[in-house]
Structure 1
Amino acid sequence: MQPTLADTLEQTADKYPEKEALVYPRKDQSYTFAELDERANRLANALSELGVEKGDRVSTMLFNGSEIVLTAYACGKIGAVFNPLNYRLPGGEVSFICNDAESSVLLFEADTAEAVENAREDLETVEEFVYVDEDVPEYAHDFYDIVEAASAESPDTVVEADDVYAFIYTSGTTGRPKGVVHEHASMVEHSLICIAEAGLDKDDVGLSALPLYHCAELHANLFPRVHVGATSVIHHEFDPVAVLEAIDEHDVTQLFAAPTAWNGLAQTAPTVDADTSSLRIGFYGASPMPKDVLEACMEQFCDDYLQAYGMTEIGPCGVFQHPDEQLEKQGSAGLPALNHEIRLVEPDADPDATVEQGDIGEILLAGPCTMREYWNRPEATAQSLREHDGVEWYYSGDLGYRDEDGYLYVVDRKDDMIISGGENIYPTEVEDVLFSHPDVVEAAVVGQPHDEWGETVVAYVVGDTDAETLDAFLQDSDDLADFKRPREYEFVEELPKNPSGKVQKFKLREE
């Protein structure tokens, strides 16, 4: 038997019916696994009564809460395709994704009502709206009314492990998002890998404060906790003070955050009266943890941290850096996850065209959690997924190298590499040197067209400094060749980022 995601909840509810499954302080909600499973049944039946059938897409414009968790499992119970949207999207992008996915139902809340209202006229396939807060718009159904009115019996829809579980739209570092199609089987496998890598068990308490519409929080944290029988505390959104207080109040043992969020927590901790000694492991992704941030977190919180590298298309976790490797291999992404392989090849080349150890190549990944396809994007699918000798490889578009011990170091995006005067310049190495200046908070480097050199290096900087100071600093540095030095500096209040914290350099280039 290959279980589906709904099966993982039902099996846990059968084993630990009275164990606390989900706590949502914002609405003073607390559900045992039996109660969570029953409410997922009710929502699944309610969606069926709204006309949702197996294979139909159900979209959400929801912040973190019990509602988005229930929707994910309710869709799984009736074979509907879960489609969580970034709750910060404007109306135009909401309509683009819902139309592209051909969604039939859209769930939303007070904080996203304006974007949904702006999108309504352009929604081509959405027939039903469901609202999770008070003062329900006249065109929408009340979430809690339809859940309470629906049957608590388990739906009789037959859902197979190879059925589609979700369309997760990429957060877009290069332009319009694409719908990543994931199956139930691959996500169950992904949960097992994360459980093993993080050492999760039923006694853990995890806090979800980063967005659950994003696969890092959803697939690598919430799903594994439900699968193993651990408790999940849900915060509507990330707030450092509230997170620290929640760790104390709920004895949180496991937390995921991007390095920037961990830095915020470490900086805030000394000002907050909260006991965080229950935390046993910190989980992070999107980029390596800077050494000073890692050391600050170890001092303030716990000793053990686990990094995951990957992307939506592969689950997202394909490479892990384990707690005992954090300091020794600081800056690396780690080693392949269980049941995964990586290769470094000449960009866009055949998987056999591997580069020498230490040389930079495009990162290819193969594993059991890789997407089925990009929805309605056959050309993009063929470019990203290529079978070779019976193995399907995902071409990540990331560039990296492996050290003498096999550890992967991610250098940059292939599309972000700058070619100036015939020389390859990797923006990350320029950004690292800029970041070492004490007055630089953030930096992003891009290439701009140049008549003589092909491209020239431009740095976008957040910080209290100026171009002359930074240029002198880089000229004095032994860590950066002169031809890699930016020839132009732009000072900005903030850098455009996607939900996982990665800078959207295409927006900088467009400027």
Structure 2
Amino acid sequence: MSGRPNGIADLVDYWNATDPDAVAVQYGPRTWSWAELADRVHRAAGALSAAGVGPGDRVASYDKNHPASLEITLACARIGSANAMVNFRLAPEEVAYTINDAQATVLFVGAEFLPVVEELGDQLTTVREIVVIGGATDQYEDLLAAAEPLTEIRPHRPDDSFLQLYTSGTTGFPKGAMLTYGGMLAHSVTNVEHAGIVEGNVALVAMPLFHVGGSSWAILALYGGASIVVVRELVPEQLLDEIVRRKVTHGFLVPAVFSVLLNVPGVADRDYSAVRELCYGASPMPLPLLRQCLETFPFGFRQVYGMTEACGVVTTLSPEDHRDERQRHRLVSAGTPIPGVEIAIGDPSTGEHLPAGSVGEVLVRSAQLMSGYWGNPAATAQALPEDGWLRSGDAGKLDADGYLYITDRIKDMIISGGENVYPAEIERVLAEHPAVLDVAVIGVPDERWGETPKAIVVGKEIDVEELLAYCRERLAAFKCPKSITVLSELPRNPTGKVLKRELRRPYWEGVERGA
């Protein structure tokens, strides 16, 4: 591809040679040009090499968003090692699990998380060296200053991994998805073209870098020659200020962030003239929230559906689809596959492909796919069978025009009296009710039907009988929740996903199906 880097490893070299003085990274009051970023990545590569980190080795980054984490990832890409990103929201024992699972030899830790690392002490069995980022004594900056720049790129194969991101682990310990040079290049090339990212654009990097919505988004923006604005803390008014002041053209946010942005005073009165489009994904956006966003913000919206195991995005719903009054039903779809991605719907039991309109498991085939889960061949074989189709674990259907509709997670499907009931469909209806602020639907035991839907809601002045009647007016009888429980909040894991196993557990204790 002309006019772009040849790969991820030479990304900084290409743009340093093309436009060395252009701003590559913005972070708080600081900026780095492409020449400065290239020098920092070269020095980080030299420091890692001097510390004995070589091909196939892992280092770990444990911090909130900071340019250092991206520099370390790009440095790893140059020497054939991989950066394992640690979710900073995890409990200490989960942090230890992630670092030990990755077998990280060098740990880069933000100063505010150093007490956790010190508390873990010798529980971090593979770590030989700890480097503190930021704080009163910034060891990372000292390390770069003392390092001999390593400008060469060590040989690597397209299916080698340079970035290891951990799945959220809603059903157990997280798994390390090995994202590859070839996979990330395919993802970057396609999405840069799809979103129209070019030199001079400014991309907001506000989602955590331990998530594909953080690291993969940042890498593709840099690949396209854009300047990235790295945001450490998600403070709503400050985030809007950054978007306007930095003249952001592109960005990615999760629906929950849009929800809080809409509550900022004067949100509709700011100058968004520089913004071309903002993407949203990682969880469904409730229709009332999406409609409010479309009414409030004048720029384009692009929904993205994807997964860690595919380096990020596999389908998108375009800005044009969002504002097409003739096809309003498509607002609840995940759009169509991006170039280079094939989507099929498979029978959850056999994997056999199903016709349009049938609900089954979403299957993905693409050059973007991970090489597997680190140290977990059994889970790799389950997710990536020999036919080359990634089993997403999501339930969905394709319509006759190729638009994908996600219905739920396969494991969350409720089988009631022989009928398949997808909680997300019920949740979508309940989310439209003005008294409901948050909702989760689970299956609970029923002597007659095997299991039936139950809604767990968060809200103010909830009238349970009125809410049940509301559902009966809008859903088939077998889909309607048979009971509703009101809670002050829903249990969530550190990435914000609802822990339905915890909601199910009290109802299934002693019952064969289990939680």
TM-score w.r.t. structure 1 length?
A: 0.92
Q: Name the residue aligned to 2:90.
A: 89
Alignment partner of 1:179 is 2:176: yes
Q: How many equivalent residue pairs?
A: 498
Do the aligned partners of 1:427 and 1:445 also contact (CA within 8 Å) in 2?
yes
- Show the counterpart of 1:148: 145
Alignment pair present for 1:481 and 2:481: no
Matches within 5 A, 1:22-171: 22-25=25-28, 28-135=29-136, 142-155=139-152, 157-171=154-168
* Paired letter, 2:9: A
Are the aligned partners of 1:345 and 1:364 in contact in 2 as well (CA < 8 Å)? yes
Aligned to 1:363: 362
Measure how far apart 1:148 and its partner are: 0.8
User: Which residue in the other structure is 1:295 paired with?
Assistant: 291
How much does 1:467 deviate?
5.4
Deviates more, 1:163-172 or 1:482-491: 482-491
2: distance between equivalents of 1:496 and 1:108?
Answer: 28
Equivalent residue of 1:30, what SS? strand
Contact 2:345–2:363 (Cα < 8 Å) also in 1: yes
Tell me the C-alpha RMSD between the 2 structures.
Answer: 2.1
1:257-301 CA-partner distances (Å, limit 9, x unpaired): 012212222332525874222211011112343333233323333
Deviation at 1:394, TM superposition (A): 0.6
SS at match of 2:144: helix
> Residue 39 of structure 1 contacts residue 70 of structure 1 at CA under 8 Å; is this kept in 2?
yes
Partner of 2:395: 399
How big is each residue's C-alpha offset from its partner over 1:300-338, in whole Å with a ceiling of 9 and x where there is no partner?
333311111111111221111111112431100111111
8 Å contact from structure 2 (residues 286, 431) kept in 1: no
- Kept in 2, the 8 Å contact 1:55–1:81? The answer is yes
Distance 1:450 1:100 in 2: 40
The letter of the residue matching 2:151 is: S
Distance (whole Å) between structure 2 residues aligned to residue 439 and residue 471 of structure 1: 9
Could you list the per-position Cα deviations for residues 52-71 of structure 1 after superposition, in whole angstroms to 9, with x for gaps in the alignment? Answer: 22211011111111111211
Q: Within the alignment, does 1:210 sit opposite 2:210 as a pair?
A: no
Counterpart of 2:115 in 1: which secondary structure? helix
CA distance in 2 between counterparts of 1:111 and 1:82 reads: 20
Does the aligned pair in 2 maintain the 1:258–1:501 contact within 8 Å? no
Unaligned 5+ runs, structure 1 = none
| One-letter code aligned to 1:373 | G
1:241 pairs with 2:237: yes
Seen in structure 2, the aligned counterparts of structure 1 residues 99 and 323 have a Cα distance that, compared at 3 Å, is same
Q: State whether structure 2 residue 28 is matched by structure 1 residue 14.
A: no
Cα-to-partner distance string for 1:199-229 (whole Å, 9 max, x where unaligned)? 111121111111111112211x211121121
How far apart are the structure 1 equivalents of 2:156 and 2:467?
60
In 2, distance between residues paired with 1:95 and 1:313? 22
**AA in 1 matched with 2:454:** V
Distance (Å, rounded) in 2 between the aligned partners of 1:227 and 1:310: 19
| Residues 17-36 of structure 1 deviation map (CA, whole Å, 9 limit, x = unaligned) | 000000110xx321001100
1:384-423 equivalence runs, <5 A:
384-388=383-387, 392-423=388-419
Q: Is the contact between residue 3 and residue 161 of structure 1 (CA under 8 Å) also seen in structure 2?
A: no
Amino acid paired to 1:435: A
Amino acid at match of 1:492: L
* Aligned ranges 1:302-451 → 2 under 5 Å: 302-327=298-323, 328=327, 329-350=330-351, 353-388=352-387, 392-451=388-447
Cα 1:303/1:133, change in 2 over 3 Å: closer
More displaced stretch, 127-136 vs 227-236:
127-136
Superposed CA deviations along residues 346-385 of structure 1, whole A, max 9, x for unmatched, are: 11323xx322321211111100100111112212111111
Deviation larger for 355-364 or 14-23: 355-364
Secondary structure at the residue paired with 2:122? helix
Q: Once the two structures are aligned, what percentage of the paired residues are identical?
A: 37
CA-CA distance at 1:459 after TM superposition: 1.8
Aligned CA distance change for structure 1 residues 155 and 129 (closer, same or farther; 3 Å): farther
Q: In structure 2, do the counterparts of structure 1 residues 382 and 156 end up closer, same or farther at CA, with 3 Å as the change threshold?
A: closer
1:250, distance to aligned residue in structure 2 (A): 0.8
- Counterpart residue number, 1:280: 276
Residue identity in the other structure for 2:340 = N
Question: Which of 258, 261, 285 in structure 1 is aligned with 2:257?
Answer: 261
The residue number in structure 2 matching 1:201 is 198
1:501 Cα deviation (Å)? 4.5
Q: Is the 8 A contact 1:339 1:368 kept in 2?
A: yes
Residue 464 of structure 2: aligned partner: 468
User: In 2 relative to 1, CA 454–89 (structure 1 residues): closer, same or farther, beyond 3 Å?
Assistant: same
CA distance in 2, matches of 1:438, 1:409: 24
Confirm or deny: 8 A CA contact 1:210 1:237 kept in the other structure. Answer: no
Tell me whether 241-250 or 257-266 shows the greater mean CA deviation.
Answer: 257-266
**What is the CA–CA distance in structure 2 between the aligned matches of 1:387 and 1:142, rounded to whole Å?**
45
Q: Is the 8 A contact 1:288 1:330 kept in 2?
A: no
Give the deviation of 1:460 after TM superposition.
1.8
Q: For residues 173-210 of structure 1, give each alpha carbon's deviation from its aligned partner in whole angstroms, at most 9, with x where no partner exists.
A: 32211111121111011111110111111121111111
SS class of match (1:152): coil
Once residues 474 and 119 of structure 2 are traced to their aligned partners in structure 1, the CA distance between those partners, rounded to angstroms, is: 49
Does structure 2 retain, via aligned residues, the 8 Å contact 1:401–1:409? Answer: yes
Match of 2:487? 492
Report the CA distance between 1:418 and its aligned residue. Answer: 0.9
8 A Cα contact 2:167 2:308, kept in partner = yes
Contact map agreement 1:38 1:153 (CA 8 A) in 2? no
Q: Match for 2:15: what amino acid?
A: T
AA aligned to 1:105 is V
Task: Decide whether aligned partners of structure 1 residues 202 and 348 sit closer, same or farther in structure 2, where only a CA change above 3 A counts.
Answer: farther
Q: Report the Cα offset of residue 122 of structure 1.
A: 1.4
Deviates more, 1:362-371 or 1:150-159: 150-159
3-state SS of 1:6 partner: coil
Which amino acid in 1 is paired with 2:490? L
- For residue 146 of structure 1, give the secondary structure of its aligned residue in structure 2: helix
Verify the 8 A CA contact 1:56 1:81 in the aligned structure 2.
yes
Matched, 1:509 2:504: yes
CA deviations on 1:479-506 (whole Å, 9 max, x unpaired) are 1133333334333333334566443322
SS in 2 for 1:63: coil
Structure 2 counterpart of 1:191, from 166, 180, 188: 188
User: After TM superposition, which residue ranges in structure 1, 4 or more long, deviate above 6 angstroms?
Assistant: none
Residue 451 (structure 1) shift = 4.4
